[in-house]
Amino acid sequence: MADIVVIGGGQAGSSLVARLREQGFEGGVTLVCGESVPPYQRPPLSKAYLLGDMDEARLYLRPESYYAEKGIELVLGAETVAIDRVAKTVTLADRVLPYDQLALTTGSHPRRLPAAMGGDLAGVHVVRTLADVDGMQPGFGPGKRALIVGGGYIGLEAAAVARKLGVEVTLVEMAPRILQRVAAPETSDYFRALHTAKGVAIREGLGLERLLGDTHVTGARFSDGSEIAVDFVIVGVGIAPATELAEAAGVAVDNGIVVDAQGRTSDPHIWAAGDCAIFPRHGQMIRLESVQNAIDQAEQVADNMLGAGVDYDPKPWFWSDQYDVKLQIAGLNTGYDRVVVRKTGDSVSHWYYGGETLLAVDAMNDPRNYMIGKRLIEAGKSPAPDVIANPETDMKALLKA
């Protein structure tokens, strides 16, 4: 009976091993986790968990007992040292695991500030793991001063939690506007206004020169020469795919572990899924950093490891919670040239078009239009932009058109 080893204990790894068992695979399944806790949800870390509204056990994707019940060997706190593709073995610090098929669900690493900029000072945090959030949580409190570096979703979510806990927040973004890499100016404007109204000092188009302090961060100096005093710093400047193991083993890597449409790497016995994998979609190689992709791609890879032979065709969706606003995103806005704004009361949605083709929707506290937009995109339907913009349009009727 074959043995499957999965390296990486995040959402993708947990989804993949569960799917193998659901599909009736009876061989050996081993899930190797770098952290000392079972696979857990990451999105609540910077929101409900940091706020204290969710305890650790509720973060777990499945109870630890699940893995034993399903005959899945869960190896916690294990460093993977190397992959030997010829011998088909995975070397851990204390043992060697043979495999017939191997899946890499190694996820990603948060980008950190270099030591030359003060990135190694105490009190400088990133948001990626349970340990990261546990380490920063004691610093949150009324009157504390935080600098958040980076105006993407992680930075904005951390700013929202910090303000809820009474922290004074300055957010600095080097680009001309927050969310520039991922959203239209209209969405940036919405969230800038939201955070400013909540007391966040947002400074755009401004670089961080360096953090100040001897051993613990005490302040920050910016590219315009200005300085502020801070008690702690949260760095949210993006993530990089965790490709080191694959690269060392000679598996093809190019801004991610390169896989084909079915999730197979350049080695026919090795697969990859989740944040670490770059795959073909509509003629382009893309990586998707989302819970939806981690689950869906991992499940498709599990099926293909068992012989399904089905290409992965994602239907991307994302979300972000900030204060009392829930942002829901459907589709990918790459290549848009026009944004249509639809507003109903306190709800607003931004519809991205490339020519006459509907590409994506950002919906703020607007679940109904989010679901309609998502279904339109998945069905390949593109209502005319002026139809979306018209407040009199019966949106639900567009699904039947």
In the sheet that 227-229 helps form, which strands lie side by side, from edge to edge? 208-212, 219-222, 227-229
pLDDT in tens, 153-199: 999 999 999 999 999 999 999 999 999 999 999 999 999 999 999 99
Q: Beta partners for 201?
A: 170
Residue 41 above 90 pLDDT? Answer: yes
Residues 6+ apart with CB under 8 A from 37: 56, 60, 76, 130
- Look at residues 172, 188, 139 and name the one whose alpha carbon lies nearest to residue 322: 188
What pLDDT, in 10s, does the model give residues 239-260?
999 999 999 999 999 999 999 9
Give residue 46's pLDDT: 83
Instruction: Look up residue 92 and give its amino acid.
Output: L
Buried b (16+ CB within 10 A) or exposed e, 261-283: ebbbbebeebbbbbbbbbbebee
- pLDDT interval class at 47 (50, 70, 90): confident
What's the pLDDT at 1? Answer: 62
Q: State residue 346's pLDDT score.
A: 86
- Would the pTM count as exceeding 0.75? yes
The answer to whether the beta carbons of residues 117 and 222 sit under 8 Å apart is: no
Beta-bridged to residue 219, according to DSSP, are: 212, 229
Average pLDDT of the residues in 103-114: 97
What's the distance, Cα to Cα, between the start and end of the chain in Å?
51
- What per-residue confidence (pLDDT) applies to 219? 98
Largest separation between any pair of C-alpha atoms in the chain: 66
Could you give the CA distance from residue 52 to residue 96 in angstroms, rounded to a whole number? 39
